A and B are shown apart, each in its own frame.
Chain A
Amino acid sequence: MEISRRDFMHICAIFGIGAATSANAAPRTVSQISLKDIYAFKNTGNFTLLHMCDLHAHLKPLYWREPSTLISAPNLTGTPGFLCGESFAKHYGLEPSSLDAYFDTHVDFETLAKKFGKMGGVAHIKTVLEHVRKTRGADNVLFLDSGDTWQGTGVALKTNGEAIVKAQNYLGVDLMVGHWEFTYGKERVRELIGMLDAKFISQNIVGDDSFADDYEELIFEPYTIEERGGAKIGIIGQSFPFTSTANPKEFTKGWSFGLRLETLQEYVNELRDEHDVDCVVVLSHDGFSVDQEVARKVHGIDFILSGHTHDPSPKPIVIDGTVIVIAGSHGKYIGRLDIDAKEGKVNNYEYKLIPIASNIIPADTAGVKLVDELYAPYALEMNEVLGRTKNILYKRDTFFSTFDQLINDAIMDEMKCDISFTPGYRWGTTVLAGEEILMDNVYEMCGITYPNVYTFELKGERIAKLLEDIADNVFNENPLYQQGGDMSRLGGATYDIAVGNSTGKRISNLKIGGKPIDLKKTYIVSSWGGNLQNAGENLQENKTRAVYDVVRDYIKRKKVVDVSNEGNVRVVDYSCGCPPKGKTSCN
């Protein structure tokens, strides 16, 4: 089997020209891939930014399969942010069956998983960070975290985020922004920031309670100026702009979010004109496609370190002189960005998305010890074997994935509802075919601070309208009106969708329990992780239960789960999951 090296992807672009060059590296055999290949980097400039996004509290290595369907509006599908599978491999020139292909695409995932093993883990991340700090000099390195770090596993949930803050301190995070962090609630966010060595910055969170002292005032410092390698680096924080609509409002009551591009522009200008920085960086949780729009609308940003949409992007995107990078999710990658900036100007940079291959990168022993300590109080619960899965269980994909289906099956079984809705967020885990399902895996899929499964009534016409509303949040042709997630997952229902149709006209042939939806009929609906219960009536309070308990009990009852990857959604205007740009099929 041939292996390609990540370093052939190196970008050496000169500002103002924007030319990208790639050298052809000789393919290597599996046994020849080494730590040296993973570290290989052309040291450039006077400082280094290390970047992590969307760790989702994964302290230990995991399997994480990238999407096999990633469809958006026709103008976006097949562009960076909406690339997957073969289209992704072709766009970025990946060798089939290489380590990079394993990390970046779903193709041959199960075979390659056996070959290359698990991904990420803070002890392995630490080894890479320390290598870079040693190579570059620790004083010349900044480690930036784009958020979605504190939430996503059982150990995070049980410690209300504290275990993850300890891991961040161990890794040496310098700066961060947030999104799911806020689902611990405002007060807990402040407590955790108190424990965090890093600074929490955000220019787009403003007080919104007209009776409070902080009304229309910034909640966090909007930016910070750090000196590394003799350069003054201005870094502006941009937390997830749609936190208050994507997650329950009560967690951030009194805080207003939003893109706030006007003030972002003001801070860019302030950093350049008043503070004479050499380089302007935005540390962002906007999402990869939204940040491409931000680069078009806000002028004078040198680099955007993006997050939220979980894209592994081996190459940066350059838009109107702004370089945008994003480093995947779940601790699978660390982005390394070497920058040459002086006298108020960026002259050169070099970027590499470093795969955290846990079988190749040795674990730092202090990290292994820390993770063991953090897990110890919960080990008994987390390591409980609930059952086994016949087929691969994964999260992601635009409409359907097997682990989501398992959760919907569990809810339908216990709640005896007509239809169930589960959230289309992009974090979770992957369990390979034939493997045991641990309680830890269930928390990795649905360990949220608002876990209740609600069962209530909704009229058919309301369900149809809600689905259109959700579809528009996912498929709007303007990235600024998207929320960066995938479609909500449905149990008990099937539908056809024409993604490219206009708002409110995408969904047809909606069936519940195999029968065409009756718009006048009242259906029993179960839902968790969203706001749908607020739209419903006759909430059955005695049935309300945490989703992870419902799923645990179901898997234990079944012992072996067998979820097929057939899906319950027919896409009318695309014939495959990963079409290239401008195409509706993969041929």
Chain B
Amino acid sequence: MQRRDFLRGLSVAAASAVVVTPSVSFAADEKPKGSNALSYKEALAAVTGSKTPEVSKKIALKVPEIAENGAVVPVTVEVDHPMNEDDYVKSIHVFATKNGNSRCVDAHLSPANGKAMLSTRVKLGETQEVAALVELSNGTFLISSQSVKVTIGGCG
């Protein structure tokens, strides 16, 4: 009954986790913005070219409801879309909407990937939405997001 879901026929191209927030802190929003700062709005626009992405149930975004450790939050994105030569998922992007630099991962895919799936870990500075943005080969953008709670916990 043991299973390794994460190994099930996946392949991800160049998933580079850009980790920016220096420490887990619920005061992240009070820190001065450094040269590396990039707001969610700016980061999203930089990828979409200011096109409005369509909220889509085709994106299965898997994140924990409450982070066990804000420094390593597992994120899995799976897109229910064909991967044909003329119709495929071109890229998957992950944003931590309230991090100083909200852009976490840009993964570029081709039909050779066979399946549009990405699994990574991101650092979250505080409770916030994690968003997965998907670009299709025809130039349209899809998006899905979910809130992840980062807490010191300890209520028993």
**A contacts, CB < 8 Å to B:** 180, 208, 216-218, 221-223, 241-242, 244-247, 249, 256-259, 262-263, 423-425, 465-466, 469-470, 472-474, 476, 480-481, 483, 485-486, 488, 503, 529-532, 534-535
Contact = CB atoms under 8 A, between A and B. Distances in A.
B154 interface: yes
A425 B155 contact: yes
Given A242-B153, A474-B155, A216 B6 contact: yes
B151 interface: yes
A488 B155 contact: yes
A11 B26 CA distance: 47
A249 B154 CA distance: 10
A43 B151 CA distance: 47
A423 B66 contact: no
Contacts of B1: 218, 221-223
B139 interface: no
Contacts of B151: 245, 469, 472-473
A380 to B, nearest CB: 29
B99 interface: no
Nearest to B1: A222
A472 B62 CA distance: 22
Q: How big is the B interface, by class?
A: 20 to 34
Contact of A485 (B6, B68, B156): B156
B154 A529 contact: yes
Interface of B: 1-6, 26-27, 62, 64-69, 127, 147, 149, 151-156
A217 B155 contact: no
A246 B3 CA distance: 27
A489 to B, nearest CB: 11
A237 to B, nearest CB: 12
Contacts of A466: 152
A531 B152 contact: yes
A474 B27 CA distance: 20
B154 A246 contact: yes
B153 to A, nearest CB: 3
Nearest to B2: A217
Given A218-B1, A245-B66, A503 B155 contact: no
B147 A469 contact: no
A530 B65 CA distance: 20
A519 to B, nearest CB: 12
If over half of B's interface residues share one DSSP class (helix, strand or loop), that class is named, otherwise mixed; here it is: loop
A473 B155 contact: yes
B147 to A, nearest CB: 7
A263 B3 CA distance: 10
Contacts of A534: 152
Contacts of A532: 152, 154
Contact of A258 (B4, B64, B154, B156): B64
Contacts of A530: 152-156
Nearest to B149: A481
A244 B5 CA distance: 22
Given A245-B151, A481-B149, 6 more contacts: A242-B66, A256-B68, A257-B68, A425-B156, A472-B149, A474-B155
A366 B44 CA distance: 68
Interface centre among B2, B147, B155 (most CB of A within 10 A): B155
Contacts of B66: 241-242, 245, 258, 481, 483
Nearest to B4: A216
A497 B45 CA distance: 39
A218 B155 contact: no
B3 to A, nearest CB: 8
A168 to B, nearest CB: 22
A500 B154 CA distance: 22
Contacts of A262: 62
Contacts of B147: 481
B4 A423 contact: no
Interface centre among B3, B4, B6, B27 (most CB of A within 10 A): B3
Contacts of A470: 152, 154-155
B26 A465 contact: yes
A425 B155 CA distance: 6
Contacts of A425: 155-156
A480 B65 contact: yes
A535 B3 CA distance: 37
Contacts of B64: 258-259
A259 B65 contact: yes
A425 to B, nearest CB: 3
Contacts of B149: 472-473, 476, 481
B92 to A, nearest CB: 18
A530 to B, nearest CB: 3
B156 A423 contact: yes
A487 to B, nearest CB: 8
Contact of B153 (A245, A258, A476): A245
Contacts of A245: 66-68, 151, 153-154
Give the 8 A-B residue pairs with the shortest CB-CB distance, closest first. Answer: A530-B154, A425-B156, A245-B153, A485-B155, A531-B154, A244-B68, A423-B156, A480-B65
B68 A258 contact: yes
A246 B68 contact: no
Nearest to A242: B66
A258 B65 contact: yes
Contacts of B5: 216, 263
B116 to A, nearest CB: 17
Contacts of A218: 1-3
A153 to B, nearest CB: 16
Contacts of A465: 26-27
Nearest to B27: A465
Contacts of B156: 180, 246-247, 423-425, 485, 529-530
B155 A469 contact: no
A445 B69 CA distance: 29
13 contacts: A180-B156, A216-B6, A218-B3, A241-B66, A262-B62, A263-B5, A423-B155, A472-B151, A473-B155, A481-B66, A481-B147, A530-B152, A530-B153
B98 to A, nearest CB: 12
A435 to B, nearest CB: 26
Nearest to A530: B154
A258 B76 CA distance: 15
B120 to A, nearest CB: 13
A52 B155 CA distance: 23
